[in-house]
Homo-oligomer: A and B are copies of this chain.
């Protein structure tokens, strides 16, 4: 095998820094979320995706695709969240195989209370530490990398 192009110092710093940031930042934000709102990060993602869906409900496969989760994973997770009363399963009218996942009243209140604290946590450990130039740079970096990994995806609100 030909000698590869090893990473130079800047590249190494960026890659290792990214990996370490990913480890610590996600752990910290998840911990805050769990302590302050009783939600795991995946819980929050599910509730968040449902909140921004029409009628606060969505087909299981649609939801899985949107979240980039496997159907299996989502099915299991929805089962657990259903036990806790955060979401509910409904039959799909147009397809007898299908399931529709819906936000419950309790789930809605939970995400509404969790969201502001979560935003504060993200600010505390991340956004507020960076300059607006850095924020823009990171947005551009993510966009570039994702354009290759997930063509045709938008980072819309």
Measured CB to CB, the nearest residue on chain B to A11 is B127
Query: Is A83's CB within 8 Å of the partner chain B?
Result: no
Q: A4-B120, A130-B144 are in contact. Are A135 and B11 (CB under 8 A)?
A: yes
B126→A13 contact, CB < 8 A? no
Copies in the complex: 2
Q: A119-B5, A130-B141 are in contact. Are A23 and B68 (CB under 8 A)?
A: yes
CB-CB under 8 A from A92, the residues of chain B are: none
- CB-defined interface of A1-15 with B at 8 Å, one 1/0 digit per residue? 101111101111111
In the A-B complex, the 10 residue pairs with the smallest Cβ-Cβ separation, listed nearest first, are A17-B142, A4-B116, A137-B137, A13-B139, A24-B149, A14-B138, A14-B139, A21-B142, A14-B135, A4-B119
Where the two chains meet, the residues of A that have a C-beta atom closer than 8 Å to any C-beta of B are 1, 3-7, 9-18, 20-26, 28, 68, 113, 115-117, 119-120, 122-123, 125-127, 129-130, 132-146, 148-150, 153, 155, 157
Write 19 A-B pairs (CB below 8 A) sorted by A numbering: A5-B120, A7-B127, A9-B157, A10-B135, A13-B139, A14-B130, A14-B139, A14-B142, A15-B122, A15-B126, A15-B127, A17-B141, A18-B142, A24-B68, A126-B145, A134-B140, A134-B144, A137-B141, A138-B141
